[in-house]
A and B are shown apart, each in its own frame.
Chain A
Amino acid sequence: MNEKLFKYKLYVKNNNDVSFTPETLAKIQTIISHYPDGQHKSALIPILHIAQEELGGSLNVDIMDYVAGLLNITPIEVYEVATFYSQFYIDPVGKYVIEVCQTGPCAICGGEDIMNYLEEKLKIKVGETTGDKLFSLKAVECLGACGSAPVMQVNTEFHEFLDMQKIDEIIAKLRNESELTKPEELTWKERLS
């Protein structure tokens, strides 16, 4: 098996209807207004953050084409950007995306052990999603919190000075919360405008 074979699948447009709520659309107009006239493409990354959060946790072709339409740019311009930045997920992910920092300072403070423990606990490997679609586990590079290593983020919520016990608590809390409606305090939309 050639492990360097990059299997990029070509994606399919399902022509599902996707759209933001009127409230979100108004927020997006505010964000676009932050940039000079004619430079609305600048709002692409902020809008993709909102789209990913509000339209199902990842970006599929329908969502990206919808965003392209909103900004009046070609779909390929959105695909190019969405695949470049590591915070955008093209393939479906679980409700909670756990991203564990693996870079130097975290690694020497036990980041690798944290990852092993999570793999064991969630019974999945890095890059996989649990069967109940609750957790996805990802290895990421430096999160900029090296002073509180090891760190991880769950849907951009930081967790610092991790150890096995803390991991147990966080996972248990998320399992409980997932039965409630919305766990996070502030959304991208609210933070960005």
Chain B
Amino acid sequence: MERKIILENIEIDGIRLLEVYRENGGYKSIEKALKTMTPDEVVAEVKTSGLRGRGGAGFPTGMKWSFIDKKSGNPRYLVCNADESEPGTFKDRYLLEHIPHRLIEGMICSAYALGANKAYIYVRGEFKSIIGILNEALKECYKAGLLGKNILGSGYDLDLHVHTGAGAYICGEETALLESLEGKRGNPRLKPPFPAIKGLYGCPTVVNNVETLANIGWIVNNSGEEYAKIGIGRSTGTKLISACGNINNPGVYEIELGLPVEEFIYSDKYCGGVKGGKELKAVIPGGSSVPILPKNLILNTLAGEKRLMSYESLSEGGFITGSMLGSGGFIVYDEDACIVRNTYNFSRFYHHESCGQCSPCREGTSWLESVLHRIENGQGKMKDIDLLVSIASKIEGNTICPLGDAAAWPVAAAVRHFRSEFEFHVLHPEIVKNVKHGSLEKYLEIPVLTAE
């Protein structure tokens, strides 16, 4: 079933402009929220909606909002996390490029609900054009009285500005983002205290993903109850999925949560099947940090049920036979993809992006990369495969921020589901040296192992 909330009207020419956006029903929620609702009522609607953070962790947004410290008397801040850098994820970029006012509308409602008079959008530095688009959109809003002092005569003031990063994946972690916003190195902070108590400039702060905030306008307009009717179970609403890799139609799709994974991969409305008519080999369903799943486990759970695009269904089976919805970065691998090379590639990414603050991540990510580099280049030994699992398990859970986990999970999952491919690299260095891409199974008689 087609259901558009965030990308509604995206096909309309000029929807990037305030005038066109308003003609098509935009900014109605501001009138409703600021003039007819109390901040607590907005928070209550968001709680009822069951909306969960779209940045990866899936934490209930309404609950996150309710933690904000209102007693301290310090100014409160709302910060939008548009530091989208998770490999495989490009949904926020698409949204901001085409319909920036969706975010701004959501941010005004949210800032009102939180009692914040200052808000920032933290955009990664590589999205220079997006920064221009957002600033244009903000100027339009200031001019139209949607931002600034006394918004639409409601008595509520809000200043909203764009801030830019400069190339650091770690700044997608909310406390590293706040450090970076304060003009420092993007080193994640120790938690507790959480940003809701001590965030930006030591004041209560809520950090939300672009897509999360883009939902708020709709929820205010149509009520949390209506929103909760969309989706499946505790996965309410729609989700932007950015599909890429070896598929026919890469791109951003808004799906209702609960869509079968099989339909998403093979339907012409979405991915359109594997490119070149090849076989599906594996999928990373939620951005590079989540465990990779082989074909049989991504299409069906171990219990034989159809795997659905929802927080619960994708994590069915835990990390042994399941994965995560994560940020919605859906990476598809065809039969010719080399899992070892791909795992090495992601390890290099995490090594490059580790902030270097805490020892397990700083040392562990580089060690993982070195060992994988050896295996990939035909210089690995059998014991190196177990070493990888061991290093990954020693990083996981022992670091300040989730980057350590994100570096460890993909390696552990790749070895778990594709161990034979790692063994092949060790046993046949002469073949590996020459074959850079391509399925190694064709050289082997044994099938891919699955975790059972």
Contacts and interface: CB of A to CB of B under 8 A. Distances in A.
Q: Do chains A and B directly touch (beta carbons under 8 Å) in the complex? A: yes
Interface of A: 34, 36, 39, 41-46, 48-49, 71, 77, 80-81, 84-88, 102-105, 107-109, 112, 140-149, 153, 156-158, 186, 188, 190-193
B85 interface: yes
Q: Give chain B's interface secondary structure class.
A: mixed
B75 A36 contact: yes
A70 to B, nearest CB: 12
Interface of B: 75, 84-90, 93-94, 118, 124-129, 131-132, 135, 159, 161-169, 180-186, 201, 242-246, 250-252, 288, 329, 331, 333, 337, 341-342, 345-346, 348-349, 352-353, 355, 436-437
A85 B244 contact: no
A191 B128 contact: yes
B88 A42 contact: no
B252 A142 contact: no
Contacts of A107: 341-342, 345
Contacts of A48: 166
Given A104-B345, A142-B87, A147-B90, A49 B126 contact: no
Given A41-B183, A147-B251, A192-B135, 16 more contacts: A36-B201, A41-B182, A42-B181, A45-B165, A45-B180, A81-B185, A105-B87, A108-B437, A112-B436, A141-B349, A142-B85, A142-B169, A145-B93, A147-B90, A153-B126, A156-B129
A87 B131 contact: no
A49 B353 CA distance: 20
26 contacts: A34-B159, A45-B180, A49-B164, A84-B186, A87-B166, A103-B87, A104-B88, A104-B349, A105-B244, A107-B342, A107-B345, A108-B342, A109-B245, A109-B246, A112-B436, A141-B348, A141-B349, A142-B288, A144-B85, A144-B124, A146-B89, A156-B125, A156-B129, A186-B132, A191-B129, A193-B135
Given A104-B288, A147-B251, A190 B183 contact: no
Most buried by B among A39, A43, A85, A148: A85
Contacts of A109: 244-246
Nearest to B353: A141
Contacts of B346: 103-104
8 A-B pairs closest in CB distance:
A85-B166, A87-B167, A44-B183, A86-B167, A41-B183, A191-B132, A146-B244, A156-B128
Given A36-B201, A85-B167, A145-B93, A103 B345 contact: yes
A105 B245 contact: yes
A84 B245 CA distance: 30
Contacts of B355: 84
B310 to A, nearest CB: 22
B166 A88 contact: yes
Given A105-B331, A144-B127, A39 B90 contact: no
Given A41-B182, A41-B183, A105-B331, A144 B84 contact: yes
A42 B182 CA distance: 4
Contacts of B288: 103-104, 142
B184 A148 contact: no
Given A45-B180, A105-B88, A108-B246, A146 B329 contact: yes
A140 B168 CA distance: 11
B135 A148 contact: no
B87 A146 contact: yes
Nearest to B181: A42
Contacts of B129: 156-158, 186, 191
B163 A39 contact: no
Given A36-B118, A81-B185, A103-B346, A146 B242 contact: yes
B125 A49 contact: yes
A38 B352 CA distance: 33
A49 B352 CA distance: 21
A86 B168 contact: yes
Contacts of A80: 184-185
A89 to B, nearest CB: 11
Contacts of B251: 147
Pick from B126, B184, B353 the residue with the most CB of A within 10 Å. Answer: B126
A188 B331 CA distance: 32
